[in-house]
């Protein structure tokens, strides 16, 4: 879940209030001129602050007009409590809300601000406007996009730190035993990230939720502030967005929303023409 200073008293019980298709619509645009991966200041894994609440960026996206977006979880812009994860029943800050990018935030401050953006899409806001009633969509569709300010686009690289990738989108879910890779960046780590890159094992798809989510265990479970971060499957395919920390029936498990479904929903309902995931400039390197 998003991490804010008001969560500290209940941290032990916090719930991490944690695409379809790469194909886009509209006229194809040239890829942005990305910053070098080793010096980019905005990238998957960057900390994102919205009204004092902190989450982690998952992947980088673009649209048909060449605008650049960084994704995180919709609940990161939610106005509910740390345990509110249903987008159809929880309010959000409005589109256009300012979001700060940083890489060294801590419990005392956001750290060094490296760029800015505005909330451009939220699955939660969209579900409200559509009157969505499907229980699985409401519970697990947890993706938001922040449009990077034009002055800061030159600071962006779409590669996931440490692992590289992503390389396309995983569209067929995960099976029990599949390995996953992620990079969380909670301000609880105060910008010190030895534990940010970690791996885990999928527990398999849950047919009961219509394929909207994938429970899994990681070597070091996600912590508040990691939510919104992206998960990749074998080959570097982008598979999901960290949404919740399981308390029962699978204690300390993580739950990720299915990115293929979340991005397809955004492509259909966001009004952002040509929305697509951007692959990393660095090859996926699954160090085991």
Going from the C-alpha of 251 to that of each of 1, 48, 122, 145, 255, the distances in angstroms are: 16, 27, 28, 29, 11
> pTM value?
0.87
* pLDDT tens for the 288 residues of the chain, in order: 555 433 333 333 333 333 333 333 344 556 689 999 999 999 999 999 999 999 999 999 999 999 999 999 999 999 987 667 799 999 999 999 999 999 999 888 999 999 999 999 999 999 999 999 999 999 999 999 999 999 999 999 999 999 999 999 999 988 899 999 999 888 776 666 666 888 889 988 766 788 898 888 886 556 667 889 999 999 999 999 998 655 444 545 688 999 999 999 999 999 999 999 999 999 999 875
List the one residue out of 172, 156, 178 whose CA is nearest residue 36. 156
Residues 6 or more apart whose CB falls under 8 angstroms from that of 140 comprise 209, 212, 213, 243, 255, 257, 258
Give the C-alpha separation, 217 to 2, whole Å.
19
Domain boundaries, the chain: 5-9+18-23+45-277
- The CATH number of the domain covering residues in 5-9+18-23+45-277: 2.40.10.120
């Amino acid at each position: 879940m998003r991490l804010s200073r008001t969560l500290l008293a209940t941290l032990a019980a916090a719930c991490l209030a944690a695409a379809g298709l790469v194909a886009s619509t509209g006229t194809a645009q040239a890829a942005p001129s990305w910053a070098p991966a080793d010096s980019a200041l905005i990238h998957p894994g960057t900390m994102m602050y919205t009204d004092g609440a902190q989450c982690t960026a998952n992947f980088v996206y673009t649209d048909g007009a060449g605008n650049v977006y960084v994704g995180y979880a919709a609940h990161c812009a939610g106005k509910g409590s740390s345990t509110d994860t249903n987008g159809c029943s929880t309010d959000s800050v409005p589109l256009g809300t300012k979001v700060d990018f940083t890489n060294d935030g801590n419990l005392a401050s956001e750290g060094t601000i490296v760029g800015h953006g505005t909330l451009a899409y939220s699955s939660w806001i969209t579900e409200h406007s559509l009157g969505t009633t499907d229980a699985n969509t409401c519970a697990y569709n947890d993706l938001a996009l922040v449009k990077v300010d034009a002055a800061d686009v030159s600071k962006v690289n779409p590669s996931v730190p440490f692992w590289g990738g992503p390389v396309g989108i995983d569209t067929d879910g995960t099976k029990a035993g599949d390995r996953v890779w992620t990079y969380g960046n909670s301000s609880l780590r105060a910008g010190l990230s030895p534990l940010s890159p970690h791996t885990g094992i999928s527990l398999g798809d849950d047919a009961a939720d219509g394929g909207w989510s994938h429970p899994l265990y990681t070597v070091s479970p996600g912590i508040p502030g990691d939510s919104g971060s992206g998960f990749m499957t074998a080959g570097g395919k982008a598979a999901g967005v960290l949404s919740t920390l399981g308390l029962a029936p699978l204690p300390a498990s993580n739950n990720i929303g299915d990115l293929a479904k979340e991005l397809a929903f955004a492509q259909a309902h966001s009004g952002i023409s040509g929305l697509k995931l951007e692959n990393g400039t660095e090859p996926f390197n699954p160090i085991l």
